[in-house]
Amino acid sequence: MATPTRISASEITEKVSHLCMDANFNLNEDVLDALRDSYEEEGSPVAKEVFAELLENAKIARECQMPMCQDTGVAVVFVEIGENIEIVGGRLYDAINEGVREGYKKGFLRKSMVKDPLNRINTGDNTPAIIHTEFTSENYLKITFMAKGGGCENMSRLAMLTPADGKAGVINFVVETVKIARANPCPPIIVGVGIGGTFDYAALLAKKSLLRPLGTKHADPDTADLEKEMLERINNSGIGAQGLGGWITAMAVHVERYPCHIASLPVAVNIECHAHRVKTVVLGNFQ
């Protein structure tokens, strides 16, 4: 066994704290590009004005280092950890949660987590983060932070379709989900779709699909075609930016597929608002 690569818990905390603020203040270039393209393409004057406001908003948020949206989200954290990585001076999940605690305090971000879904007492520091971990053979620790807003998360849906429902059934469910959501998830949206796996895994696939940069094509041509068809059907709805009517309801549809049981066809739709806040850091030995 090779000598482990050591990463300190305090470094993880510091990086996560920074990611929380960076994600909420500085919209990524791929999202800005998508908003600029949408501004050019949109036919409705009211919706066009919404795109202009969103671009101006992103600029102000960056310049003033203030959150682009007051709902600074649930902290969703994706971890890829090399099997040869050793965390020293603390535990990985504790270090991540400490980073969220620190970032939300220092960045004047809103704390939106409650201790219990029924008793509804705020935890006061936006923890716990929702953490998904994957082991890899790489020699690094990759942490991707996503600030996920409540409005769009609430409009997400999952169905256990039958194999006979097939592709048409999946597309109809995705389009129907967006139509039910209407203005509520803050369109223009990004639609994450997970097809296959199990009940729980489909939802994770849907969320993970959102991490792919906007404007990139899926590596699998069949899935890329499926994304294109779904996007067209969604944008035929006329819902438009903020639900005020327009040609662009979604800026992208991302699909991930996975093997599943012979009896099952799970499909999960995770809706993301235009304030698509994702930032990544890589720690350890890497090229």
Output the smallest distance, CB 70 to another protein, in A.
4
Output the smallest distance, CB 24 to another protein, in A.
9
Please state whether 173 falls in left (phi above 0), alpha (psi between -120 and 50) or beta. Answer: alpha
For the chain, the straight-line distance linking the first and the last C-alpha, in angstroms and rounded, comes to 21
- Is 114 or 282 the residue whose CB approaches another protein more closely? 114
Which positions touch another protein (CB under 8 A)?
43-46, 49-50, 53-54, 56-57, 60-61, 64, 66-72, 108-110, 122, 151, 182-184, 186, 236-240, 242-247, 273-275
Output the smallest distance, CB 66 to another protein, in A.
5
- Is 111 or 132 the residue whose CB approaches another protein more closely? 111
Question: What SS3 class is residue 193?
Answer: strand
CA angle 140, 142, 146 (to 5 degrees): 175
- Is 89 or 150 the residue whose CB approaches another protein more closely? 150
Check: CB of residue 151 under 8 Å from CB of residue 185: yes
Residue 191 dihedral angles phi and psi, to the nearest 5°: -110, 120
State the Cα–Cα distance between residues 253 and 278, nearest whole angstrom.
16
- Is 53 or 200 the residue whose CB approaches another protein more closely? 53
Output the smallest distance, CB 245 to another protein, in A.
2
Q: CB within 8 A of 34, min separation 6: which ones?
A: 188, 214, 215, 251, 252
- At 36, which helix (H) or strand (E)? helix 29-41
Output the smallest distance, CB 234 to another protein, in A.
11
- Is 115 or 182 the residue whose CB approaches another protein more closely? 182
- Is 99 or 188 the residue whose CB approaches another protein more closely? 188
49 CB-contact burial (10 Å; exposed 0-12 / middle 13-18 / buried 19+): middle
Output the smallest distance, CB 270 to another protein, in A.
17
Using only the alpha carbons of the chain, give its radius of gyration.
19
